[in-house]
Amino acid sequence: MSAASRDSSSAGCRLYLITPPRFAVTRFREDLAAALDAGDVACLQLRLKDATPDDVKRATETLMPVCHARDVAFILNDDAGLAHALGCDGAHLGQTDGDHAGARRLLEGRILGITCHASRHLAMEAGELGADYVAFGAFFPTDTKEVVHHAAPEILEWWSQMMEIPCVAIGGITAENCGPLVRAGADFLAVVGAVWNHADGPEAGVRAMNAAIGAA
């Protein structure tokens, strides 16, 4: 999850996959393996908003080995303590997901990503705190989450020209619309629908995203 060298092309930009909001773990295990085998994926974020800690534990125990077998980092959404307890590679925290500084200490040596919406100020704060990446969005309309913050590619350009810390773009990103985000300097494109809801299936979704990143 570190940014490789950055230039004005797509070099270094990678796919950041997020799970669908709901799934049956046993079946999803196979879908995930197939998706990860279809092309480059830097990490998987387990994002189960309505699940109990036990559900998250079961999903992690099933899915993390699938990721690790393919050298894909496994990041847990929302809960740094649970990410630590379950041995995840890191956690992604939003602005209301607890104590960022405490999470940074707890997850020493692991990945900590922080949602910064469309705010330069929040991104600077996250950087100072030691975040491994900052996430900006939403860039496009999305059916996956009700969003109140809307970002434009300029924030990626501003951040990537100024800072070494990688930036993630999120929100309604597809193979068709991602070009400007890659060219603006996004290090990772985080997607749900573009892969899991792809008309030809998740494998086609991963292939299409990687082709679009490469062509940007």
Ligand X SMILES: Cc1ncsc1CCOP(=O)(O)O
Ligand Y SMILES: Cc1ncc(COP(=O)(O)OP(=O)(O)O)c(N)n1
Which residue ranges are tagged as binding site for Mg(2+)? 78, 97
The residues, ordered by sequence, that sit 6+ positions from 205 with a Cβ below 8 Å of its Cβ are: 35, 175, 191, 194, 195, 196, 197, 198
Binds ligand Y by CB under 6 A, chosen from 13, 38, 73, 170 = 170
44 is in the binding site of which of ligand Y, Mg ion, ligand X, none (Cβ under 5 to 8 A by kind)? none
**Length of the chain in terms of residues written:** 216
Selected binder of ligand Y within 47, 100, 198, 207 (CB under 6 A): 47
Angle between the 25-37 and 202-215 helix axes, to the nearest 10 degrees? 30
Stretch that binds ligand X, among 53-61, 78-86, 167-175, 208-216 (CB under 6 A): 167-175
Question: Binding residues for ligand Y, how many (CB under 6 A)?
Answer: 16
Among 12, 127, 137, 153, binds ligand X (CB under 6 A): 137
Helix (H) or strand (E) holding 2: none
Minimum Å distance from CB 176 to ligand X?
13
With contacts defined by CB under 6 A, name the span among 8-16, 35-43, 67-75, 164-172 that binds ligand X: 164-172
In three-state secondary structure terms, 92 is: strand
* H or E element, residue 167: strand 167-170
Which two three-digit tokens encode residue 178?
């991602």
Rounded distance, CA 192 to CA 19, Å?
6
75 touches ligand X by CB under 6 A? no
When CB distances are held under 5 to 8 angstroms depending on the partner's kind, the choice from Mg ion, ligand Y, ligand X, none that residue 168 binds is: ligand Y
